[in-house]
Structure 1
Amino acid sequence: MDELLTKVKANLILEHTADDALLKSYITAAVSYAESYQHIPEGFYKENPMPLTTEQAVIMLSSHFYESRDGSTGGFFADNTGAAQQVWNTVNLLLRLDRRWQV
C-alpha cells in the first residue's frame, strides 16, 4: 500500500502527509473496484503482484476520487464536463487488459 500511496501522491503532486489516510481509503476502494471488474477474488492483490496496467488504473481512479471528493469533476479538468466520464472510460480500458474472462 505504501508504494501505491507514493505513486498516487506523485500523480497528484502532493508532498504533505495530511491526507494520507484519506488517500489510502481511496486506494483501497480503487483496488476493490479493480478486483471486482477483473473478476478476481477480493484481496487478490494483497498477495499477488499487480500488473502495471492495473496499477495505473488504480492510481488514476484513486486520484480521481481524491480530486472529486466533493462530487465535482475537480482537478485540472474542472471546466470539462466530460472529464469524469473519460477517467472512468480510461480506467475500465486499462482494467480490461488484465481481466479474467469466463469461457
Structure 2
Amino acid sequence: MSDDVFPSYRPPDWYPLQRALASVFGVDAIDATAAFWFIGFVPGPVDVGELRLYEHSATRRRLALDATGGAYRWLDGVGRYVRGDDEEALVEALV
C-alpha cells in the first residue's frame, strides 16, 4: 500500500490549541480544548510549515494553527493559508 493513499499515523497535536486558548482567554480556557476534534496536519505557508487543523464539535467551524498556536485562515482567492488574528480566529471557531 502506498503512503500517499494511507499516510502513516501521527498522533494529534493539542499543544498549539491549548497555547492559543490560554494566550487569548487565559489558562482556565485550556479546558475548552475538549470541545474540539483534531482533524490533522495540512500544508501551511512555506516559511511556517505544516498547520494543525481543528474543528469545534458544536459549531463545526475549523481552526488552523501553526506549531506555536498562531492562527491562519484559508483564502480561496489565492488558494492558501495566510496569517490571521489569533483572537478573531478563536472567537469565530467558538461562536
> What TM-score does the superposition give when structure 1 sets the normalisation length?
0.34
Higher helix proportion (structure 1 or 2): 1
Q: Normalising to structure 2: TM-score of the pair? A: 0.36
Higher strand share: 2
Determine which structure has greater relative contact order: mean sequence separation of CA pairs < 8 Å that are 6+ residues apart, divided by chain length. 1
